């Protein structure tokens, strides 16, 4: 598949992840009487990845996340020359989705993106006021395990066709664990789009949600490549 189509698939996949996941948090999580809560938001993030992995995964590999791209490269599953173009497409998709979400959310009286807009944070900006070190440990460990699940479920020895299910459910579990800690990133592109519209503290803390998931993704890829993958 040519690079243009693959980048387009990554754009749309990341758009859907951010629009569906962050959209559920902004529009539906606290809806009076019928809000889906953080369990519903967790499921929404998992469903976005599951659905787009089936929809366009056969085109681009279904990364939708710079940490996944870096982790697959570290794991020997993705060429280094395509890492930067993939990340650029993912970030653009995230920003576009955040922009559409902003247009919708701003149609409600009293909406204020600076209040949070599904952004990730630590310390006073953590949903349950977890510290920076707690945020670092959570994002590092969860991103690493996410990449182990991705590598394992798409291994040639794994049952064919079930990878997206394992990956989507894994992302749901990750959110169930860590929404109270950081509002769950494990995805620098997801963090970037909404942070730009939040406009202040989310941008200041964004470095954590780039640096740590990228390290975690690489660690997960290397663990699978050297400790778990068959060399046959």
Q: What is the pTM of this model?
A: 0.97
Q: CA 125, CA 116: separation in Å to the nearest integer?
A: 9
Phi, psi of 135 (to 5 degrees): -65, -45
DSSP character string of 28-50: ITT-TTT--HHHHHHHHHHHHHH
Burial of 153 (0-12, 13-18, 19+ CB in 10 A): middle
Q: What is the DSSP letter of 114?
A: G
- The SS3 call for residue 199 is coil
Fold classified for 3-228: Glycerol uptake facilitator protein (1.20.1080)
- Spatial contact of 70 and 219, defined as CB atoms under 8 Å apart: no
Query: pLDDT (tens digit, 9 = 90+) per residue, 135-183?
Result: 999 999 999 999 999 999 999 999 999 999 999 999 999 999 999 999 9
What are 80's two structure tokens?
A: 């280094």
CA dihedral sign, ordered 81, 9, 24, 46: negative
Query: pLDDT (tens digit, 9 = 90+) per residue, 91-133?
Result: 999 999 999 999 999 999 999 999 999 999 999 999 999 999 9
């Amino acid at each position: 598949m040519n690079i243009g189509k693959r980048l387009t698939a990554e754009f749309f996949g990341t758009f859907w992840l951010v629009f569906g996941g962050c959209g559920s948090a902004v529009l539906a999580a606290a809806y009076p009487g019928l809000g889906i809560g953080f369990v519903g938001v967790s499921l929404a993030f998992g469903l976005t990845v599951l659905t787009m992995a089936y929809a366009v995964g056969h085109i681009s590999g279904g990364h939708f996340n710079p940490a996944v791209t870096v982790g697959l490269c570290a794991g020997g599953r993705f060429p280094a020359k395509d890492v930067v173009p993939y990340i650029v497409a993912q970030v653009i998709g995230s920003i576009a989705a955040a922009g559409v979400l902003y247009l919708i959310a701003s149609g409600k009286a009293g909406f204020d993106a600076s209040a949070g807009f599904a952004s990730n944070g630590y310390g006073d900006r953590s949903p349950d006021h977890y510290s920076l070190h707690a945020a670092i440990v959570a994002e590092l460990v969860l991103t690493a395990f996410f990449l182990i699940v991705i590598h394992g479920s798409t291994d040639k020895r794994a049952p064919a066709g079930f990878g997206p299910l394992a990956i989507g459910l894994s992302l749901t579990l990750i959110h169930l664990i860590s929404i109270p800690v950081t509002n769950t990133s494990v995805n620098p592109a997801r963090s970037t789009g909404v942070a730009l519209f939040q406009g202040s503290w989310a941008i200041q803390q964004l470095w954590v949600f780039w640096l740590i998931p990228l390290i975690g993704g690489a660690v997960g890829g290397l663990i699978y490549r050297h400790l778990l993958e068959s060399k046959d």
